[in-house]
Structure 1
Amino acid sequence: MAFTCFGLGGLLLTVLLVPLLNLLVWSQDLRRRWARMTVSLLFGGFIHLMVVLRLVTYEVHGRERLNRAGLLILANHPTLIDVVFLIWLVRNADCIVKAALWRNPCTRGPLRAAGYICNDAGEALVASSTHSMDQGGNLIIFPEGTRSRPGEALRLQRGAAHIATRARRDVTPVRIHCAPLGLYKGQRWWQVAPRPLHFRICVEDDIPVEPFLAEAAEPALAARRLTDHLTWYFSNGHASPARIGS
């Protein structure tokens, strides 16, 4: 029921929201902001629908750290709905999405209206990401590139670190934990866990990027070292801030 509502919501956004925004709002920047706000509100509605259906529960720690502009938010990616939580929690959220989602009829309309960045942009990806943050967007990236596989070592791609080092943006790390683990890589989305999935989302202290740039002879080396640090960071337990609400 929940995923049917999600799919229908995406289609309605494509059919109704995008044409209305194009018709009524002349400013591209304003259209983008309204589209992002609408997607965020609907994602929040989807989360709360799943709470009502007793599919998930959640708690959020350190949410006040998201009340800034121009953030580079990097998160681990254990489940299918991690991005839904983050786009709901983050104001003016931007994100890098798979090219396949741009072709999906349930998602392509809202994604393009919100101005999200397609991951097939090649060399322009870093420039587009930097421009988004310079304009006040909060960029969400999953450095793994796809969901984690339970029992396998964490492997991060270097793209997120390249963006951080070239844009000279500190990293705002978000650690996502789900128990029991569900909606993971390799599991069918309709396979419901025996009890509600409990999400614990921790927004932790920023990781400064300047030390990595200062110690490296070139940005590519700094990105590699930052990737190694992030791999260690997300692979190991870390003290989490006090709960501020959910």
Structure 2
Amino acid sequence: MRRQLRETLPGLAAVAAEYAVFYAGLLLLALVSLLWAPFAAACYWLLPAGLGRRFGRFVIMCIFRFYLWALEGMGACRFDLRELDSLRGGPPLVLAANHPGLLDALLVLSRLPGAACIMKADVVDNPFLGAAARLARYIRNDTLAGMIRCAVQELRRGGQVLVFPEGTRTTRRPVNAFKGGVGLIAKRAGVPVQTLFIETDSPFLGKGWPIFRKPDMPVCYRVRLGRRFDAPDSERAFMAELAQYYEAELSRPESEPLRPGAAGCAAVHNV
């Protein structure tokens, strides 16, 4: 009996430690967001739009990067986001990414402070998250016409726009059916579409995953760059080609293993 207890206790301690790390990670993001919200709200009214946009996005990048570094340090996750750095400070682009989980925008924005994210209107209106989004002048997705107009303006200012063509988190592997907004934005702005592939070894925070349910840790993430498409002439033909490309890319075997400790899953703070 004592021997069984001695053998069981380390396992129970490891599980308890994982739960502590998991909930500490959720609490950390909530606290940092809550602390920044009143300052972001004040800056929104006090700073000129251009300065507020740059400052807001820079702070969001710092917060997200710190959060990912903390998750890495606690052993909850591993990340490889190195390829995103080549886009920083680059030309105007529509950044089109697949959407396996809730952390996807956070991963991209932690490396690209110049990017504007298209967000649901209820998130922008949220008192907890909305102040930072409004200061950063992220794009509300309340009406299709308004969203496209704001995205085109952002691109013509020289920025980059992050779009998830699926419109929601993936429920049908490898990707959901695509919506046409990506093609319309790229066509009207006359800018290329840079494809991004977000890969993970866990369904954590995917569609239907309860936010307080602990995954097996560490969870591994990688973002890699795909093909860059020229601005389309035909939105319909382009979206069909884009969807086919994503399905093919996300269905092929991984060239590098996506697992903790592997070369393809490096630490964020070592990037």
Contact 2:60–2:132, Cα closer than 8 Å, also in 1? yes
Q: Which residue of 2 aligns with 1:58?
A: 79
Answer yes or no: is 1:13 the counterpart of 2:36.
yes
Letter paired with 1:202: R
Q: Which residue of 1 aligns with 2:195?
A: 173
**Structure 1 residues 86, 64: CA separation in 2 closer, same or farther (over 3 Å shift)?**
closer
- The Cα RMSD (Å) is 2.4
Q: Which residue of 2 aligns with 1:32?
A: 53
**Structure 1 residues 148, 161: CA separation in 2 closer, same or farther (over 3 Å shift)?**
same
Distance 1:240 1:162 in 2: 32
Secondary structure in structure 1 of the residue aligned to 2:54: helix
Q: Which residue of 2 aligns with 1:69?
A: 91
Q: How does 1:118-197 map to 2 (within 5 A)?
A: 118-149=140-171, 151=173, 154-197=176-219
Q: Higher relative contact order by CA 8 Å / sep ≥ 6: 1 or 2?
A: 1
Contact 2:198–2:221, Cα closer than 8 Å, also in 1? yes
Contact 1:155–1:231, Cα closer than 8 Å, also in 2? yes
Contact 2:166–2:175, Cα closer than 8 Å, also in 1? no
Unaligned runs of 5+ in 2: 1-23, 257-262
Contact 1:76–1:142, Cα closer than 8 Å, also in 2? yes
Letter paired with 1:19: A
Mean CA deviation greater in 133-142 or 5-14: 5-14
Q: Which residue of 2 aligns with 1:216?
A: none
Answer yes or no: is 1:233 the counterpart of 2:245.
yes
Identify which of 104, 128, 133 aligns with 1:82.
104
TM-score normalized with structure 1 length:
0.86
Provide Cα deviations, 1:181-218, integer angstroms capped at 9, x if missing partner.
32110111222222211111102231123xx41xxxxx
Distance 1:208 1:227 in 2: 12
Provide Cα deviations, 1:40-68, integer angstroms capped at 9, x if missing partner.
11011111111122111011353353130
Moved over 4 A (4+): 150-153, 238-245
Percent identity between the two aligned chains: 24
TM-score normalized with structure 2 length:
0.79
Q: Which residue of 2 aligns with 1:224?
A: 236
**Structure 1 residues 50, 57: CA separation in 2 closer, same or farther (over 3 Å shift)?**
same
For the pair shown, the structure with the greater C-alpha radius of gyration is 2
Secondary structure in structure 1 of the residue aligned to 2:245: helix
Contact 2:203–2:209, Cα closer than 8 Å, also in 1? no
Distance 1:51 1:34 in 2: 26
